[in-house]
């Protein structure tokens, strides 16, 4: 057996021990913080992307829903900053690959769509996809915060999750209205 073969298992064991040495609550805290940074990036990015959607939307109801969603998103960013403060962390964002991908996909599709109902339907689809991701993230964050004993953070995150549910319902209603126009 050569030396290289003997060293690989030893390195793997060392890495495993390093991971195992971290207490489960510390690892959960790290995961909570990573998810928090991810959703913070997603929400902050949304405050810049929603106005682009508003410029391309045509239906009055959709324009109003997007405007309301923008205002809510700005409040959600503020709530996330409060959560960071509660856990003793500076509000930092880590690029959300999921939201970034949705934004790039939406940009491409909107460039290919003609103004009117089809473009409105595309915008609604984008918002629904984004809200699905955000709902899942907030649900996860709430669970983690409960396990970590971050009760005040739970309340803030639950308020945001409730708004995200409301946006999903509104977009579902708008989808049905848009489809009925065809």
Q: What is the dihedral of CA 79, 133, 63, 112, to 10 degrees?
A: 140
Q: How confident is the model at residue 2 (pLDDT cuts 50, 70, 90)?
A: very low
* In the predicted structure, residue 39 carries a pLDDT above the cut 60: yes
pLDDT at 21: 57
Segment 61-111, tens digit of pLDDT: 999 999 999 999 999 999 999 999 999 999 999 999 999 999 999 999 999
Measured distance CA(86)–CA(145) in Å, rounded = 11
Domain residue spans in the chain? 44-180
pLDDT by residue (tens digit) across 149-177? 999 999 999 999 999 999 999 999 998 88
The average pLDDT across 123-130 equals 94
pLDDT band at 13 (very low <50, low <70, confident <90, very high): very low
Distance CA 164, CA 170 (A): 10
What fold is seen in the domain 44-180? Ferritin (1.20.1260)
């Amino acid at each position: 057996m050569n030396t290289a073969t003997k060293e690989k298992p030893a390195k793997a064991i060392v890495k495993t021990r390093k991971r195992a040495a971290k207490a489960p609550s510390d690892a959960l805290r790290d995961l909570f913080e990573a998810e928090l940074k991810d959703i913070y990036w997603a929400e902050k990015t949304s405050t810049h992307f929603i106005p682009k959607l508003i410029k391309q939307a045509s239906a009055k109801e959709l324009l109003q829903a997007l405007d309301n969603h923008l205002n809510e998103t700005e409040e959600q960013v503020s709530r996330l900053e409060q959560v960071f403060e509660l856990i003793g962390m500076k509000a930092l964002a880590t690029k959300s690959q999921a939201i970034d991908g949705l934004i790039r996909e939406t940009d491409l599709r909107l460039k290919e769509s003609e103004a009117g109902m089809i473009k409105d339907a595309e915008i609604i689809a984008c918002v629904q996809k984004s809200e699905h991701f955000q709902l899942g993230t907030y649900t996860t964050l709430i669970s983690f915060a409960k396990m970590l004993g971050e009760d005040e953070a739970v309340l803030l995150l639950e308020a945001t999750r409730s708004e995200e549910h409301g946006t999903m319902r509104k977009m579902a209603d708008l989808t049905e209205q848009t489809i009925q126009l065809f």
